[in-house]
Amino acid sequence: METALDQLLSAALTDLETIPDAKALESARVKYLGKKGSLAALAAGMRDVPADQKKSVGQKLNDVRSAITARLEAARTNLQAAADSHALDGIDSSLPGRTAFTGGLHPLTLILDEAVSVLRRLGFAVAEGPEIETEFHCFDALNTPEDHPARNEKDTFYFETGELLRTHTSSVQIRTMETAEDTPLRIIAPGSAFRRDEIDATHLSSFNQLEGLYVDEKVTLADLKGTLEYFFHCLFGKATEIRFRPHFFPFTEPSYEIDIRLEAKGKQPKWIEIAGCGIVDPAVFEAVCQSRGDHLFDPERVTGFAFGMGLERLAMIRWGISDIRLLIENDIRFLKQFA
Ligand code: DAH
């Protein structure tokens, strides 16, 4: 019996040295350790072993089983390692990996986030208004008379109801003053505006504006200048030159256009118009008082400043984008540069 066990062990060990694949491994396991395998057959002979040898023969039987089991395990590990290394054939694992493309924010979103965060620091809260507006909120309350060109059918998208796609975000000034509970009031209103414009390198018929309004007792032109100078310095750098050029808007008096001086490399520096602003016209406060039916915005008590600018223009200046249409074409080659 012991000799038979020794023979079995050495045969099994030799056999297991050259296992080519998983299938051969499984049949070797069945052959030696299976219920009807060689070891089981020998174990059946235990009953013929004399009593005084049963213990040592039994021990040997167990040792042989363990040795074969261990060898089978080792063969399994070797096969797996070989398969793994085969899987890497032809792959140079020292090459840098490919980064997953994670996408990024659109330049308009980037500039908006930045603008809003600067103005929030100064105490302005974000306000909203509808894109389909009444003529009252878009024009009349903003002291814009019937014959003003902004109201022209040719420049504006009217509905049959008399409502229109707002031509500017200034309507949000009126909306927020109508519902304000108290002063001071400091709001910014980012959002879409619409005009019947021919689309070209600097015009879109649907674009974005950022409106601002500050109302309190004794708001002055100095507050307006300080706020907007700080704002543009945050956006374009402290060295950026800014000028306030007298202008006309129906809803502010005095009114200004703000220009910034652009110094692109290799080009003649030039002033570019970037925003409109001014001191809120008392006629606007009067319209709000009438609409509210109270005196919270009595022009004898409060003054204010307002400003409005195009977000596309801000982005174009910030990143030197030469054609506004790039901002709506969703060309990945363009957008990637901001991701
Ligand atoms: N609403 C003006 C426009 O669309 C921009 C503007 C100018 C807004 C002066 C203002 C302002 O609030 O005070 O061209």
252 CB less than 6 Å from ligand 1? yes
Per-residue pLDDT for 296 more than 90? yes
CB 258 within 8 A of CB 249: no
Q: Cα Rg for the chain, rounded, in angstroms? A: 41
Phi-psi region of 218 (alpha: psi -120 to 50; beta: other; left: phi over 0): left
What's the CA-to-centroid distance between 309 and ligand 1, angstroms? 7
Q: For the residues of 202-231, what is the DSSP string, one character each?
A: TB-SEEEEEEEEEEETT--HHHHHHHHHHH
User: Taking residues 244-272, what's their average pLDDT?
Assistant: 94
As a whole number of angstroms, the distance between CA 308 and CA 325 comes to: 21
5 CB less than 6 Å from ligand 1? no
pLDDT at residue 38, as a whole number: 86
Count of beta carbons in the 10 Å neighbourhood of residue 103: 9
For the chain, give percent helix, strand, coil, nearest 5: 45, 20, 35
Ligand 1 pocket: which of 168, 214, 284, 303 to mutate (most atoms <8 Å of CB)? 168
pLDDT tens digits, 217-247: 999 999 999 999 999 999 999 999 999 999 9
Q: Which of 303, 309, 282 is nearest to 142 (CA)?
A: 282
Q: Whose CA is nearest to atom 5 of ligand 1?
A: 308
As a whole number of angstroms, the distance between CA 232 and CA 236 comes to: 6
DSSP state of 266: T
What's the CA-to-centroid distance between 293 and ligand 1, angstroms? 26
What's the CA-to-centroid distance between 237 and ligand 1, angstroms? 23
207 CB less than 6 Å from ligand 1? no
Which residue is associated with the tokens 């509905």? 159
Dihedral of CA atoms 192, 197, 200, 206 in degrees, nearest 10, equals 20
Backbone φ and ψ for 91, nearest 5 degrees, come out as -105, 125
* Length of the chain in terms of residues written: 339
Cα–Cα distances in angstroms (integers) from residue 277 to residues 78, 177, 331, in the given order:
78, 18, 34
170 CB less than 6 Å from ligand 1? yes
Q: Which two tokens stand for residue 188?
A: 């910014």
Per-residue pLDDT for 278 more than 90? yes
Per-residue pLDDT for 148 more than 80? yes
Q: Whose CA is nearest to atom 6 of ligand 1?
A: 308
249 CB less than 6 Å from ligand 1? yes
Average pLDDT, the chain: 93
Which residue is associated with the tokens 């801000």? 314
CB 224 within 8 A of CB 104: no
pTM value? 0.74
User: Taking residues 139-149, what's their average pLDDT?
Assistant: 93
Per-residue pLDDT for 264 more than 80? no
3-class secondary structure for 299-311? CCCCEEEEEEEEH
pLDDT at residue 79, as a whole number: 86
What is the percent of the chain with per-residue pLDDT over 90, rounded to a whole number? 65
CA angle 176, 181, 184 (to 5 degrees): 75
Per-residue pLDDT for 337 more than 90? yes
CATH number of 107-338: 3.30.930.10
Q: Whose CA is nearest to atom 8 of ligand 1?
A: 308
